[in-house]
Amino acid sequence: MGVRVDGLDLKSANNTVVGELRSLLNEHHLVCVSQQDLHEEEQQAFGMLWGELLTHPAAMKRSNPYVQILSGDGRAKNRAFGSWHSDMTWHPTPPWITMLHARTIPGFGGDTGYANQHLAWEYLDQARKDQRRSHRRYLPTAEQLLNLRANHTGKGFGAEVPDSIHPVVRTHNENGKQALYVNPEFTTHIVDMPEEESLSTLFPLWIHAITEEFCYRHRWRQGDIVIWDNRSVMHTAILDYDKPRAMQRVVVKGDTPT
């Protein structure tokens, strides 16, 4: 998972460049384009080459709600991980692409973790047979998950943000691969399943989904733009920094998950 592209200037990107990057993304699920310096409007224009942009509730008071600014100095945070998630799964058509541009990077820390959910699905039954880790015995089988749906909520961003119901296992609508599609940040429960059974199904899946062998940890460099496919990966912020960190984010509208 992941490929790095050097020597490209995204300020002059066109549909041909985006087509090449999209092919890389379908194969590797995450693309880092190094040494960029895009202002908000330039990143927005680049994002629009990929499709329709979505706003985010947290950015609606900004003059440009299509470009979110994620910033902090880290001093108010404990050393921890953020919650693993795919972006905006509470949306009826969640973004298929997230583009995060590193504008200010601390001297230490501030990495982002990514977990390949195609691998999580592919190795589910094998992991279930593995008794070396105690949670494995509680994993459901792949067959048990195929027709399940889960509720996702964005109420943490405001009471007006809708909930959405999506399949627990989604099919990538370009490469045809299946992937787990539940996360501890936004998934509340499995639909039409008793609460206790829902929790006992979701918790082992969340642990399995971030198995070390499925993960990549991106160490940011100034100017990086990381583009990832939310149909394929989850991610988490690693909150281990105590100096300013600022990112620009653009998300591209996807289809209804199936």
Q: How high does pLDDT run on average in the chain?
A: 93
Q: Is residue 195, in this structure, part of any structural domain at all?
A: yes
Same domain, 157 and 239: no
Residue percentage of the chain with pLDDT more than 70: 94
Q: Is residue 258, in this structure, part of any structural domain at all?
A: no
Encode pLDDT of 59-94 as tens digits. 777 888 999 998 887 665 555 567 999 999 999 999
Same domain, 31 and 103: yes
Same domain, 41 and 105: yes
Q: Is residue 34, in this structure, part of any structural domain at all?
A: yes
pTM: 0.93
Whether the pLDDT of residue 132 is over 60: the answer is no
Q: How many CB atoms lie within 10 A of CB 103?
A: 22
Work out the average pLDDT over 159-171. 96
pLDDT the model gives residue 242: 87
pLDDT the model gives residue 235: 97
| Cα–Cα distance, 30 to 147 (Å, whole number) | 28
Same domain, 42 and 93: yes
Count structural domains, the chain. Answer: 2
Helices and strands (H and E) in the chain: how many: 6, 16
| Dihedral-angle region of residue 132 (phi above 0 means left; psi in -120 to 50 means alpha; beta otherwise) | alpha
Enclosing domain of residue 202? 116-209
Q: Is residue 81, in this structure, part of any structural domain at all?
A: no
Encode pLDDT of 201-218 as tens digits. 999 999 999 999 999 999
Encode pLDDT of 19-39 as tens digits. 999 999 999 999 999 999 999
pLDDT the model gives residue 97: 97
Whether the pLDDT of residue 106 is over 80: the answer is yes
pLDDT the model gives residue 134: 56
Phi and psi at residue 179, to the nearest 5°: -150, 150
Q: Quote the tokens at residue 40.
A: 């908000």
Per-residue pLDDT band for 131 (boundaries 50, 70, 90) equals low
Same domain, 105 and 193: no
Q: Is residue 82, in this structure, part of any structural domain at all?
A: no
Same domain, 66 and 182: no
Which CATH number belongs to the domain containing residue 68 in this structure? 3.60.130.10
Q: Who's near 147: CB < 8 A, 6+ residues apart?
A: none
**Reduced DSSP (H G I as helix, E B as strand, rest coil) percent helix, strand, coil of the chain, to 5:** 30, 30, 45
pLDDT the model gives residue 239: 87
Work out the average pLDDT over 152-179. 95
Q: Is residue 214, in this structure, part of any structural domain at all?
A: no
Same domain, 11 and 106: yes
